[in-house]
Amino acid sequence: MNAGNIKTQNNKNGDAAMPFMAFTNDSESIVVLKQFALNNSWAESIIHSGDIETAAQFLKTNHSPRVLFVDVTSQESTPAALDALADVCEPGTKVIVSGKINEYSFYCWLVDVGVSSYLLKPFTIHSLEAAYKKTTETSVNNGTPAAELKNHAKIITVIGARGGVGATTVCVNMAWIMANNLNHKTALLDFDPQFGTVSLALDLEPGKGLRDALEKPDRIDGLFIDRVMVKVDDNLSILSTEESIEDTITATEAAAEALFKQTQPKFSYIIIDLPRVLSPFTRYALAHSDHVICVTEYTIAGLRESLRYLEYCRDILKIAPPVFVANRVGLAGKHQMPKDEFEKGLGQKIKFDIPFVLDAHAAATVGEVLAETAKNIPATRVLHLLAEHFTGSAAEQKPKTKLDSILALLKGGK
């Protein structure tokens, strides 16, 4: 390969690693890529003819760039093609995917497996530049190196705009649906060691002994996680504890970091029920989540607190705005704040409205999960849509990757 006048940087082996390489057959994309190469003083030879499969073939025998641009042609063939790429890319290579698939679920899936950016064709030089900039920034949400594209649990943190709005209900049901209906290995972590209600909601015995580890994070290792997590079924595990309320527990950022580090390799999705009082422990979780959900209600107070969380995520943490979910919709009847007014005040659309249903109360009273006991009511259907929003698709459409099969085998599955 002729690197021409490309600016280089040493890779792990001490060889020169290219900053960027592209594979596409699309003439419009090539025009934009050529301009992009020119703007960066890179040789046009970094643009190769071919798609993601060609890239995997090429990178079997050539060094990987730091950022790889690949063209995908169909939703169905992408998972296998990304697997093949993961097998050949050197550690650290980030991936920008481009294609004509205009499906939000596909975009979510790409983000979930760790692709840095998706450029819908035709794209402009500005969107390519923005994607490249995002990918090369050292922020937490700029994608996963290609070599690790799949084995990385996505973290979804749920906060309640106000107490009692239904954050725990959303967490428990979403985790249950992801595990049982969408067939993902899911962990549900209750980040409130003293007042958390996840175990109550599932009628499980809360764990004990987490406090010590939260205060001394070096004790949190893989074995510890296996010991303290309660397995609800094959796909769903819970971490929840009921520590004494006599003292204040001083869980640190390091505890959250250690919990993430130890749970991420074991699951596909990690759902966190976050207490509303923010501490270094919970702030770390918010800042390092792939997605944040804010459960709210259509009231003035719900709007005020939603706005504060929105601003905190956007302006302070500099992460994507939370996905807002309105719960117990309809409970206040005509006294409920109109949805359009709420959306106007927040400056965001509310995509998910979960109606108020007595079934939810009934389920909570006996430690049952609404998604299990009342499968076909509108509230459960919205909870399904919410879970699918993050996983990308319903179970039967979920593309199966080679790694899924390998992991299933390692874990004793078929």
Ligand X SMILES: Nc1ncnc2c1ncn2[C@@H]1O[C@H](COP(=O)(O)OP(=O)(O)O)[C@@H](O)[C@H]1O
Q: Which does 166 bind (CB under 5 to 8 A by kind): ligand X, Mg ion, none?
A: ligand X
Q: Which of 24, 75, 168, 268 forms a contact with ligand X (CB under 6 A)?
A: 168
Least distance CB 411 / ligand X (angstroms): 31
Q: Which does 328 bind (CB under 5 to 8 A by kind): Mg ion, ligand X, none?
A: ligand X
CA 135/CA 119 separation, integer angstroms:
13
**Single-letter code of the amino acid located at 7:** K
Segment interacting with ligand X (CB under 6 A) among 89-97, 175-183, 336-344, 354-362:
354-362
Largest CA distance in the chain: 69
Binding-site string for ligand X from residue 99 to residue 128, where x marks contact by CB under 6 A and - marks none: ------------------------------
* Complex with Mg ion: residue 162 or 283, whichever CB lies closer: 162
Q: Which of 93, 116, 117, 168 forms a contact with Mg ion (CB under 5 A)?
A: 168
* Complex with Mg ion: residue 167 or 325, whichever CB lies closer: 167
197 binds ligand X (CB under 6 A): yes
Considering only residues 361-380, where is the footprint of ligand X by CB under 6 A?
Answer: 361, 364, 379
Residues 243 and 275 sit within 8 Å (Cβ to Cβ): no
CA 13/CA 406 separation, integer angstroms:
28
Q: Which does 360 bind (CB under 5 to 8 A by kind): Mg ion, ligand X, none?
A: ligand X
* Complex with Mg ion: residue 70 or 159, whichever CB lies closer: 159
DSSP annotation string for 392-404: SS-GGGPPPPHHH
Structure token pair of residue 339: 């949805």
Q: Which does 164 bind (CB under 5 to 8 A by kind): ligand X, Mg ion, none?
A: ligand X
* Complex with ligand X: residue 52 or 172, whichever CB lies closer: 172
Residues 6 or more apart from 26 whose CB is under 8 A from it? 71, 98, 121
Of 348, 335, 352, the residue nearest 388 (C-alpha): 352
Residues 68 and 89 sit within 8 Å (Cβ to Cβ): yes
Q: Can you tell me whether residue 209 is helix, strand or coil?
A: coil
328 binds ligand X (CB under 6 A): yes
Q: Can you tell me whether residue 56 is helix, strand or coil?
A: helix
Residues 242 and 126 sit within 8 Å (Cβ to Cβ): no
Least distance CB 29 / Mg ion (angstroms): 47
Least distance CB 237 / ligand X (angstroms): 20
384 binds ligand X (CB under 6 A): no
Of 102, 97, 101, 149, the residue nearest 127 (C-alpha): 97
Q: Which of 22, 360, 383, 386 forms a contact with ligand X (CB under 6 A)?
A: 360
* Complex with Mg ion: residue 123 or 352, whichever CB lies closer: 352
296 binds Mg ion (CB under 5 A): no
Segment interacting with ligand X (CB under 6 A) among 167-175, 237-245, 391-399, 404-412:
167-175
Q: Say how many C-beta atoms besides its own lie within 10 A of residue 203's C-beta.
A: 10
Sheet holding 67-71, edge to edge: 47-49, 20-24, 67-71, 94-99, 117-120
163 binds ligand X (CB under 6 A): yes
At residue 144's C-alpha, the angle toward residues 180 and 174, to 5°, is 20
Count, residues near ligand X per rule CB under 6 A: 18
Residues 96 and 116 sit within 8 Å (Cβ to Cβ): yes
Interface residues toward Mg ion, by CB under 5 A: 167-168
Catalog residues that contact ligand X under the rule CB under 6 A: 160, 163-169, 197, 327-328, 354, 356-357, 360-361, 364, 379
